[in-house]
């Protein structure tokens, strides 16, 4: 018997609910969706659910196990099933991969008993009858196939009220839709460490101001605000020189891209662009910062669909947050727990940073409120809310 199967057989829950989480994702992956899937798997397992995560076989350079890569406890099993991994061969390859995975999942699950089929893959509705669908966005052009799949789903879990409203406008009953934003593991980010201790551990300057950004530098090829941060940094450096910007989580190509941009702006000596680090180290980096930034540009994805994991991690880190004023962000943040600036406006961002630095008392009040608010957005509470809604 394989190790994962032994673990699965040892997990016995009080209510006997068996859930299959069907995720068409390369696990592990550096991208945020992989972390969200794994943290929710852990949270479901801790909420008295016997969970099996099914993912496709995909080529990967990451050799670590998913559990060690994400720092997730082995409280559920992961099964990798057949998939023609042709996603690098254009649109046709992308569709072949999805269909091959779902067809294999259909065959695999014929011989398994489960109570709940949970998935983030809309096309699962073409292969299965009873399923719970988690949606992170809506298609640009909503077709009749989309509407049929949404109507077929027993329940729909969405990240924002904008996605819910879009579903309702497509004829879906509001009663079968739950808004469930992303979350955070407080144990990972609410660490007992002062700013000075964190900087000492990371060998960062003990004096001066450090601005922080964490997570991937781009999503679907779209800038996530780092270009605006570099422009704002140039503005701030005209009046003071003790400013350092840290960005943690970039891949090699993006680090090179923004490094060149910083050089062209003349701010290369005031930035550190750092590849992805583990969650424990990321928590220390956030503690080392004076301000945490998320100046997303005004694009449809960021404005209406996203529920950025970094937002909750920032709130848990007890550092003041400066964010673009976007509708999706407003679902969680407000003037009592964050500072808002205009999207796509480096001057507004620079002004916001200066304002926070000049009013430390207000910043301290704001960050404390953010920490209190984030206690309602843990992965555990998200899992419990979803399970209650499904039942």
pLDDT in tens, the chain (391 residues): 343 343 333 333 435 799 999 999 999 998 999 999 999 999 999 998 999 999 999 998 899 999 999 999 999 999 999 999 998 899 999 999 999 999 999 999 998 999 999 999 999 999 999 999 999 999 999 999 999 999 999 999 999 999 999 999 999 999 999 999 999 999 999 999 999 999 999 999 999 999 999 999 999 899 999 999 999 999 999 999 999 999 999 999 999 999 999 999 999 999 999 999 999 999 999 999 999 999 999 999 999 999 999 999 999 999 999 999 999 999 999 999 999 999 999 999 999 999 999 999 999 999 999 999 999 999 999 999 999 999 8
Tokens of 261: 């941009």
Considering the domain delimited by 3-183+379-390, tell me its CATH architecture. 3-Layer(aba) Sandwich (3.40)
Q: Provide the token pair at 3.
A: 């190790």
pLDDT at 50: 96
Helix (H) or strand (E) holding 329: helix 327-330
CATH says 186-374 is which class? alpha beta
Q: Model-level pTM? A: 0.92
Residues of each domain in the chain carrying CATH 3.40.50.2000: 3-183+379-390, 186-374
Report the run of H or E that residue 134 belongs to, with start and end: strand 132-135
Give the pLDDT confidence score for residue 15 in this predicted structure.
55
- pLDDT for 179 equals 98
CA atoms within 13 A on the CB side of 198: 21
Contact 27, 66 (CB under 8 A): yes
pLDDT the model gives residue 391: 84
State residue 5's pLDDT score: 40
Around Cβ 68, how many Cβ atoms within 10 Å?
11
Q: Is 224 helix (H, G, I), strand (E, B) or coil?
A: coil
CA distance 197 to 104: 50
Interstrand relation of 243-250 and 271-275 (parallel, antiparallel or unpaired): parallel
């Amino acid at each position: 018997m394989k190790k994962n199967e032994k673990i699965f057989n040892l997990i016995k829950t009080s209510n006997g609910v068996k859930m299959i989480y069907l995720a068409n994702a390369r696990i592990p992956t550096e991208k945020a969706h992989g972390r969200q899937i794994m943290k929710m798997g852990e949270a479901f397992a801790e909420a008295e659910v016997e969970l099996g995560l099914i993912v496709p076989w995909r080529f990967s350079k990451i050799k670590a196990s998913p559990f060690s890569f994400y720092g997730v406890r082995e409280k559920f099993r992961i099964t990798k099933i057949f998939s023609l991994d042709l996603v690098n061969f254009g649109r046709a390859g992308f569709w072949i991969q999805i269909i091959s995975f779902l067809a294999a999942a259909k065959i695999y699950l014929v011989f398994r008993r489960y109570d709940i089929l949970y998935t983030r893959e809309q096309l699962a509705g073409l292969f299965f009858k009873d399923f719970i669908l988690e949606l992170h966005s809506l298609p640009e052009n909503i077709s009749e196939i989309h509407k049929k799949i949404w109507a077929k789903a027993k329940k729909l879990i969405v990240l924002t009220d904008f996605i819910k409203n879009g579903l309702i406008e497509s004829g879906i009953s509001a009663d079968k839709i739950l808004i469930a934003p992303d979350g955070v593991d407080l144990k990972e980010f609410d660490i007992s460490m002062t700013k000075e201790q964190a900087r000492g551990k990371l060998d960062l300057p003990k004096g001066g101001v450090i601005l922080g950004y964490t997570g991937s530098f781009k999503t679907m090829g779209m800038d996530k605000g780092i270009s605006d941060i570099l422009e704002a940094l140039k503005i701030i450096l005209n009046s003071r020189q003790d400013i350092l910007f840290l960005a943690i989580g970039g891949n090699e190509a993006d680090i090179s891209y923004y490094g060149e941009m910083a050089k062209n702006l003349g701010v290369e000596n005031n930035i550190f662009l750092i590849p992805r680090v583990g969650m424990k180290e990321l928590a220390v980096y956030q503690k080392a910062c004076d301000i945490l930034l998320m100046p997303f540009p005004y694009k449809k994805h960021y404005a209406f669909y996203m529920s950025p994991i970094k937002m909750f991690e920032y709130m848990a880190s007890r550092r003041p947050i400066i964010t673009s004023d976007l509708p999706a962000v407003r679902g969680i943040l407000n003037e009592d727990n964050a500072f808002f600036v205009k999207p796509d406006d480096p001057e507004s961002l620079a002004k916001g940073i200066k304002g926070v630095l000049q009013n430390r008392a207000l910043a301290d009040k704001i960050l404390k409120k953010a920490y209190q608010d984030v206690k309602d957005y843990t992965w555990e509470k998200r899992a419990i809310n979803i399970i209650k809604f499904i039942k």
